[in-house]
Amino acid sequence: MRYQVRSKGGKELNVADGKQLVRLLNQRLLDLDDEVRRKGEERWRRIGDIPEYAQMIHAEKQDIARFRAIFLVTLLLASLAAIVAVLSRL
């Protein structure tokens, strides 16, 4: 199913399918406030108002937050290990 997307700035582009739309959202080339409609339809809908796209983006944001938390904990533990190693040599 082809889609037409209209950005907040008024630019329009054609998207081949939902997967490409999600890819563009993930790459931050589209925003949940941009509008979309199926090719040939009259009515524009805000991307964030379409449940399946809003859920995908929400799930991805949760994954990013989880990754950041794991990264920070790992960095903290590595720093503590380095400090202990330096102090044990004194």
Give this prediction's pTM: 0.59
Query: Which pLDDT tens digit goes with each residue over 42-88?
Result: 999 999 888 877 777 777 778 788 999 999 999 999 999 999 999 99
d(CA 19, CA 82): 44
Task: Report residue 12 as tokens.
Answer: 């329009």
Of 42, 59, 48, nearest to 21 by C-alpha is 48
Q: Where are the domains of the chain?
A: 3-88
Residue 31: the pLDDT is 85
Q: What is the CATH number of domain 3-88?
A: 3.30.1490
Task: Report residue 67 as tokens.
Answer: 């990754």
CA distances (Å), 86 to each of 1, 9, 22, 44, 79, in order? 60, 55, 47, 61, 11
Residue 78: the pLDDT is 96
Judge whether residue 2 has pLDDT over 80.
yes
Q: What one-character DSSP code corresponds to residue 17?
A: S
Q: Token pair 């199926």 is at which residue?
A: 38
